[in-house]
Amino acid sequence: MNARTMLNDAALDEMIAWRAGPNAPLDLAAQIVASVGATRQRRRPWWTRVQVPPSRTPAMQAAWAIMLIGLLVAAALSAALVGGELLRRVNELVVTPRNSAPMTWGPTTVTPSAFGPITWRTLDVPGSGWWWHVAGTPYGSIAVEDTQVLRWPVADGSWQQLALPDGDWRAFPVGSDVIVGGDAGDEAFWLHRSGSTWVIGEPLDLDGAMGVIDVYVGPRGIVLTDGTSIQYSTGDRTFVRAAQPPSKTKLQPTVATCALLGSSSGGVGEGHIGPMIVTDRGFIALTAADPADWNIDPVCEPVVWFSSDGSAWDLASTSSPFGPGAYVREVAGRAGRHVAIGGVPLSSDDSGNAVWVSDDGVAWERLSMPEPAGTCPWQEPVLCGHRYSRVVAGDAGWIILDGDGFAWTSTDGRIWHAAAGWPGSGAGWLPQELALSPGSIVEISLGERGVIGVFGP
Amino acid sequence: MGDLLGQGRRLRRTSLPSPTPDAVVSCAPAVTAVAPGFATAASVTPSVFIALVERAQAGDRGALEALVRQRLDQSYRTARAILGNDADARDATQEAFVHAWRELPRLRQPERFDAWLRTILVNSCRQALRGRRRRLVREIAVGDPAEQIASFADPAAAPDERAVAADVLDRAFGHLPLGERAILVLHHLEHLPLAEIATTLAIPVGTAKSRLFAARQELERALEVELR
């Protein structure tokens, strides 16, 4: 008799059940609950997104090179003139130190770009940690691990890494640089590229501790948010807390009711400032119309707040431009156009997907979307909610993912195509994070694996 | 097969990964596998369960406590089967639930909570295994393990035979890498379909299938080593 003959299913079932032993010790539940009581839950909304990386099409690469040379010259001049104060490039924008003249902006119109067919393959994540955040940069995608390591691929297909300080970090592209911020609210750093390596620069000078859960870069400067407060900078590393942030005290109670959101309330304190948008005139933030809904995510019946400088915020609309009962989960913009994903009510307790587009962040137009390309991958089709979960923008355009692994792409934000199925379809991936960088898409689920999609013109 | 623990007994000195005293000494009778959808507390309907997840996502610790009670036993036994001892299983289970609490706002689809929690649990087991490389020397009784193992699934087999067989299989199991242990546990303890296993381990279904096959082969090889 050999091992093969012994290892039938019944024997293995029995053996592993024996190995599993009895149920959990009686005191374990109480111990876990006590530990949870001492643990702060991440206050990370679902609408975290990747900022707009610059274009890498041939034409734009040439423009980029010219811009880069200009930036280098400007940097040298600026360094000489202002004693080496930090000069930052943001897409086609030169972000100059605060109190200096407004910066120059790149194109604000959407142009056709290259979002060709996507070829997906499994991404074997190197290292020992979990990838729990990815972001797109002009140099390709980067990943942050729970072991405080930043990783990125290099030309030969291998991976390089950079050790980060202790903390739970997230990375946000800022032009060709990256801001790395922690949820815990201690520090945030600039990272810049040197050759094929990312290098940690100076810490941001924050106005009091804040967790950085999102970064928005525009012609008027940079805004950081922890979801409930805002700090802004005119372009350098010194940030100031917004004097008049969006406040629910300026809102009147409404009867807003968003399907699927009824049980998501309570326990998150002051509530959050929803997705934000960068325009050439300033910044836009979405919050729930009803003060009672500020602790609900995604944002129910969003109203629009505007700030020209990131400091003083005023209501730009008193009713939701998304319609009654609609909610918004994420917004992603590029080249002066913004795409929002969310839902609209179908009945009192159900909602359907919705996508809106806007060129100013104030007026929104709902779009018609194609059906997903494929059938439900789950064994129980009822699980296929096809709920849009992520939208990100990059040089190629926009990509929307739903929770079942289907994708939709658009080069102009208005006309959408159902993308070919990706390896996650049918494999049970739980899409968690998404990054769109020149020529590639990286998607990870919570774990040690991901997928990478390569596309081209 | 007779009284293997009383006759012809020989002692074998073996280095094993972190067994617990009760597992070594008592060789407890096999526990009947728990069917998927287990519950320590009274089972709740799927809609209520999803509502609990959503409330926990919004910071409701009471909802999290309810989720813990719903899923604790299954999670603990999965960790116990992967890790092979109570102390590590306890730590991994606790770590998994605390991690789940911290990350719950990141879970986009509450109806996928179970698969998501399982993924976290497997990773917690990986961390536990990485962090605790304890090795013990222990003495165990060995008769003719091959025949005993064959009788493992035989309800008529004597408890002693089952115990020795279980111990041999247990040691062989301990030689497997965590990934292979996990896939065997998810398949043979939780009786998950391949799609769900793939979800948990974040691998395609085809890969899950081939890894399950490879894990079985690896276990066979480890078992043959133990039987020499």
DSSP string, A395-423: TTEEEEEETTS-EEEESSSSS-EEPPP-T
- Beta-strand ranges (E) seen in chain B are 10-17, 135-142
Are A24 and B40 an interchain contact pair (Cβ–Cβ within 8 Å)?
yes
The Cα A450–Cα A369 span in angstroms is 26
CA proximity to A22, closest of B171, B118, B74, B160:
B74
The Cα A224–Cα A339 span in angstroms is 20
Do the strands A118-124 and A449-455 form a parallel or antiparallel pair, or are they unpaired?
A: antiparallel
Closest residue on chain A to B153 (Cα): A11
The 3-state DSSP class for residue A72 equals helix
Query: In this predicted model, what pLDDT tens digit does every residue of B119-165 receive, in sequence order?
Result: 889 888 877 776 554 333 233 334 444 555 555 556 666 666 667 77
Residue B64 sits at the chain A interface (C-beta within 8 Å):
yes
Query: In this predicted model, what pLDDT tens digit does every residue of B61-114 receive, in sequence order?
Result: 888 888 998 899 999 999 999 998 888 899 899 989 988 888 888 777 788 888
Q: Enumerate residues 95 to 114 of chain B having a beta carbon within 8 A of any beta carbon in chain A.
A: 97-98, 101-106, 108-109, 111-112
Q: Enumerate residues 114 to 133 of chain B having a beta carbon within 8 A of any beta carbon in chain A.
A: 115-116, 119-120, 123, 130
Residue count (chain B): 228
Q: In Å, how far are A27, B67, B69, B96, B218 from B41, measured between CA atoms?
A: 15, 9, 6, 19, 37
Are B58 and A446 an interchain contact pair (Cβ–Cβ within 8 Å)?
no
Confidence tier at B58 by pLDDT (50, 70, 90)? confident
Query: In this predicted model, what pLDDT tens digit does every residue of B184-200 receive, in sequence order?
Result: 999 999 998 888 887 77
Regions of chain A with pLDDT less than 70:
1-7, 42-65, 67-68, 71-114, 128-130, 183-186, 256, 259-271, 295, 297, 348-350, 376-386, 403-404, 421-432, 445-450, 456-457
Are A14 and B30 an interchain contact pair (Cβ–Cβ within 8 Å)?
yes
> How many Cβ pairs closer than 8 A exist between chain A and B?
258
The Cα A140–Cα A158 span in angstroms is 13
Mutate to test the interface with A, among B44, B76, B144, B178 (most CBs of A within 10 A): B76
Query: In this predicted model, what pLDDT tens digit does every residue of A160-206 receive, in sequence order?
Result: 999 988 777 889 998 889 999 886 666 889 999 998 899 999 899 99
pLDDT of A271 reads: 56
Confidence tier at B23 by pLDDT (50, 70, 90)? very low
Q: Residue A154: which H helix or E strand, with range?
A: none
pLDDT of A229 reads: 86
- Beta-strand ranges (E) seen in A22-101 are 88-90, 93-95
Cβ A173 vs Cβ A135: under 8 Å: yes
Per DSSP, the residues of A272-336 read ----EEEETTEEEEEEESSGGGTT-SSEESEEEEEESSSSB-EES-SS-TT-TT-EEEEEEEETT
Q: Enumerate residues 159 to 218 of chain B having a beta carbon within 8 A of any beta carbon in chain A.
A: 162, 165-166, 169-170, 172-173, 184-185, 188-189, 193, 195-196, 198-199, 201-205, 207, 216
Distance from CA of B139 to the nearest CA of A (A): 18
ipTM exceeds 0.85:
no
Are B59 and A46 an interchain contact pair (Cβ–Cβ within 8 Å)?
no
Mutate to test the interface with B, among A1, A5, A14 (most CBs of B within 10 A): A14
Residues A426, A429, A435, A438: is their CA dihedral positive or negative?
A: negative
Are B93 and A423 an interchain contact pair (Cβ–Cβ within 8 Å)?
no
Mean pLDDT of B35-53: 64
The 3-state DSSP class for residue A94 equals strand
Cβ B158 vs Cβ B77: under 8 Å: no
The Cα A240–Cα A258 span in angstroms is 34
Distance from CA of A13 to the nearest CA of B (A): 5
Distance from CA of B1 to the nearest CA of A (A): 15
Strand partners, A142: A135
Residue count (chain A): 457
Do the strands A169-174 and A177-182 form a parallel or antiparallel pair, or are they unpaired?
A: antiparallel
Query: In this predicted model, what pLDDT tens digit does every residue of A210-232 receive, in sequence order?
Result: 878 889 988 889 999 887 889 99
Are B61 and A3 an interchain contact pair (Cβ–Cβ within 8 Å)?
no
Distance from CA of A275 to the nearest CA of B (A): 15
